[in-house]
Copies of this chain bind each other. A is one copy, B any other.
Amino acid sequence: MMKHNFSAGPSVLSDFTKEETAKAVMNFAGTGFSVMEVSHRGAEFQAVVDETVELIKELLEIPEGYSVLLLQGGASLQFYMAPLNLLAKKAAYLNTGVWASKALKEAKLVGEVIEVASSKDKNYNYIPSGYEVPADVDYFHITTNNTIYGTELESDPDVNVPMVADMSSDIFSRPIDIKKYDLIYAGAQKNLAPAGLTLVIVKDAALGKTGRTLPTMLNYQTHIENGSMFNTPPCIAIYAALQTLKWYKAQGGIKEMQKKNIDKAKILYDELDRNRLFKAVVPNPKDRSIMNICFVMSEGNEALEKDFLALAKERGLDGLKGHRSVGGFRASCYNALPKESVQALIDAMQEFESKH
């Protein structure tokens, strides 16, 4: 039976990524050693880091003046590291969910924080609009995709201050207007690599302005100056990331991934809007995530939830259970999820509808 991986993260990776990584675990770059046991300072692994950084710059069209860093600790460590490096006095945050709230909480340890808007009133099922970002803040922080609730910013907002963004769950899903940002960070375990790698894209000129003495490892400058090799990097996760990046390039790049993602999301949202047994969690189409598609049983059919999960399991549809704070189902449709998997889910939904 074909299995379909709808996991919210860590999540589906391309067959190419898996196969190449498995090979390198046994024999890396013809060295006879595993990618897990070679020096990160050897020529073979340095080439991996260099190519990874170059491909990220190429695929995301990162302009001059930005550094690409390969770090550890996940977005959760960035919640603190970002303000520590960039917040001199005051920052503005958009509260679109639990992760955004956590980012906001850590920033408060560093300086003054203004929550410009929140969608907490409706369990974060929409992206706030019509808010104003004060002109005197150091940055405006956004979470571009909210994995738990299935909301996503349509595009890079237009504001009059530099932005800082947690893009953990939608980076590489669409082109980004990088120059609007002082900092972008992303846990790699959705669209890039296994867990254990954190991607940081930082504008060099934005650093060094807080007057703060920073711990060495929490200072972006440390990692810029050392090419992400101040200490031993997470080598195997970086190797896997490189394979994914190569696969993206072979697939036609990020615009092509976006096209495929929009297509996958459209057929699933269309089915959710049509099928009388199911209902999308996010009402406003413009706020709907193309990465994490959350849905519940429609009114009156709540009791059927367990039965549908059972059918999904029978059909090889894995990882569909929704987050406990939303309930229902969540189909995470990251870049590496083939359209066939989405179609298999739609088929199961239609089969279920015809039965009930």
Contacts and interface: CB of A to CB of B under 8 A. Distances in A.
Contacts of A34: 13, 18, 194
B38 A10 contact: yes
A40 interface: yes
Q: How many copies of this protein are present in the complex?
A: 2
Contacts of A232: 9-10, 74, 187, 189, 195
B102 A216 contact: yes
Contacts of A218: 80
A19 interface: yes
A318 B38 CA distance: 10
A235 to B, nearest CB: 5
Counting chain B CB atoms within 10 Å of each CB, the highest count among A18, A37, A106, A109 belongs to: A37
Contacts of A8: 39
Contacts of A35: 194
Contacts of A11: 37
Interface in A202-239: 213, 215-218, 230-237
A80 B236 contact: no
A194 B37 contact: yes
A283 interface: no
Nearest to A105: B216
Given A26-B18, A33-B5, A213 B109 contact: yes
B236 A33 contact: no
B36 A80 contact: no
A75 interface: yes
A319 to B, nearest CB: 6
A292 interface: no
Contacts of A109: 213, 215
Contacts of A74: 72, 231-232
Interface of A is mostly: loop
A63 interface: no
A234 B231 contact: no
Contact of A18 (B19, B36, B102, B193): B36
A12 B197 CA distance: 22
Given A196-B234, A196-B235, A232-B74, A12 B37 contact: yes
A186 interface: no
A341 to B, nearest CB: 12
Interface string A1-16: 0010101111111000
Interface string A62-99: 00000000001111110110000000000000000000
17 contacts: A3-B32, A5-B33, A7-B33, A9-B39, A10-B36, A12-B33, A13-B36, A18-B34, A21-B25, A34-B194, A73-B217, A74-B231, A106-B216, A195-B236, A196-B237, A234-B237, A236-B237
Given A18-B25, A106-B217, A189-B232, 16 more contacts: A7-B37, A10-B37, A13-B36, A18-B37, A36-B194, A73-B73, A74-B232, A76-B230, A80-B217, A106-B216, A109-B213, A195-B232, A196-B233, A196-B235, A234-B237, A237-B237
